[in-house]
Structure 1
Amino acid sequence: MNAIDNGKNQENDISLGLLLDMLAGIKDAPLVFYYDGQPVKSGYHITEVKAGQFAGLDCGANPETWSEIFIQLWDVEENDRKHMATGKFCAIVRRVTEHVRLDASARLTFEVSDGVRPMQLYCATMPVLRAGAVHVALSPRPASCKPRDRWLAEENKKAVVCCGPSAAGSACCA
């Protein structure tokens, strides 16, 4: 299994710009998204690409702002269709940019439905090139507590600084 991004294929929440960068130069390979343990059907469509600017207040009363890009996938089977080529996916996104400003660094969310089940939100992992196709795993986008997430990130940063290579005279991990 070859990761297009040099092995970081487990990283979630990639941006649109990063996804497009990873797909550059692989225009003829089929692009297969996976969600709920299954690949999308070969006739899937991109039914909508939209960009949003959001502002809110988190559960700790902290103001939050962010940009997000949503790509809606309609997971349907169509006669004689193969999975969309990466070049076509990139061309669709480029076409959208002619009408809508897309921030390449914005959070990327996939909205997926088969037209029967309700639409669900997913984040994407890094693309993986395997057996001549580009595979992108989509995982459900969970809710989170931003104050807790920030606290955990700070604690993890402290642990790395503290328990990394110790400086002479450091009482940290003595």
Structure 2
Amino acid sequence: MNNHEAINWADFKNQLLLHPDLDLQFQYAENKWVDASYHITEIKQAPITSVDCGGKMNRWTEIIIQLWEPVNQQQDRAMQVNKALSIINLVEKTLPLNPLGTVKIEFGNSEFDTRQMYPNTIGANGGNLIIDLRPDSVQCKALERGGSCGTTATGEECCTPASEKPKIELKNMAIAPVCVPGGGCC
């Protein structure tokens, strides 16, 4: 969740509850909007368990709202927040959603490859509740913990805490006549 705070499910839902009578609009890129005819096709709860490059196990939950733009079904107005809340309530009757789960919106159309994005900002503007979506980027959790990333000369694990990173011996390759196996130059 690069350079912005991800919103959890409880906070996201509370934002919707504050504006039930507004139209719910999604902006997925600069001056690019999900067509008003969109549908919320499903809400997924994805428990994630991973092991990062430093060998540390990580766990979190993502709540993913999938949007679909039907072809040739243009509308002037998007669904109201109340309609989205009714879909959420229907889902939560069957699948209790983790209030601390990280919210992502999944969307794509013929001009925009499908991806999961984070709500960057949520704000009322006139008769609309606008959710501005921004993609995440790949990050190294070991670096975020204060470790370092890179391959050591001995091929040891790449992401060790900075204080444990071995020192690398530099050799002057200009004076080595030939690089041979075991010669230390390769």
Give the TM-score category using the shorter length. 0.7 to 0.9
Counterpart of 2:128 in structure 1 is 133
Percent identical residues: 24
Q: Where does structure 2 lack aligned partners over 5 or more consecutive residues?
A: 148-186
Name the counterpart of 1:108: 103
- Contact 1:110 / 1:122 at 8 angstroms: preserved in 2? yes
SS in 1 for 2:146: helix
Q: CA deviation at 1:44?
A: 0.8
Q: CA deviation at 1:131?
A: 1.7
* CA offsets 1:101-121 (integer angstroms, 9 cap, x no match): 210110111110126754211
In structure 2, the residue matched to 1:122 is 117
Which position in structure 2 is the counterpart of 1:19?
A: 12
- State the Cα distance separating 1:52 from its structure 2 match: 1.4
The CA RMSD measured in Å over matched residues stands at 2.1
Kindly provide the CA deviation profile for residues 83-136 of structure 1, in whole angstroms up to 9, marking residues without a partner as x: 111111111111101111210110111110126754211011231111221111
CA deviation after TM superposition for structure 1 residue 75, in Å: 3.0
Query: For residues 102 and 131 of structure 1, what CA distance do their matches in structure 2 show?
Result: 30
| Alignment: residue pair count | 143
Look up the SS of the partner of 2:48 in the other structure.
strand
Normalization by structure 2: what TM-score?
Answer: 0.70
Counterpart in 2 of 1:51? Answer: 45
In the alignment, the residues of structure 1 paired with residue 88 and residue 48 of structure 2 have an alpha-carbon distance, to the nearest angstrom, of 21
Contact 1:12 1:126 in 2 (8 A): no
Matched, 1:28 2:25: no
Provide Cα deviations, 1:58-102, integer angstroms capped at 9, x if missing partner: 111111111111111113462445211111111111110111121
Q: Are the counterparts in 2 of residues 74 and 115 from structure 1 also a CA contact under 8 Å?
A: no
Cα shift at 1:24 = 1.2
8 A contact 1:11–1:126 mirrored in 2: no
Structure with max Cα Rg: 2
Residue 11 of structure 1: how far off its partner (Å): 4.8
- Single out whichever of 16-25 and 71-80 deviates more from structure 2: 71-80
1:79-118 matches, within 5 Å, as: 79-80=74-75, 82-114=77-109, 117-118=112-113
Where is the helix percentage greater, Structure 1 or Structure 2? Answer: 1
Q: 2:146 aligns with which of 137, 141, 151?
A: 151
SS of corresponding position for 2:139: coil
> Which has the higher mean CA deviation after the structures are superposed, 109-118 or 129-138?
109-118
Give the unaligned 5+ runs of structure 1: 1-9, 153-174
Higher relative contact order (CA closer than 8 Å, sequence separation 6+): 1
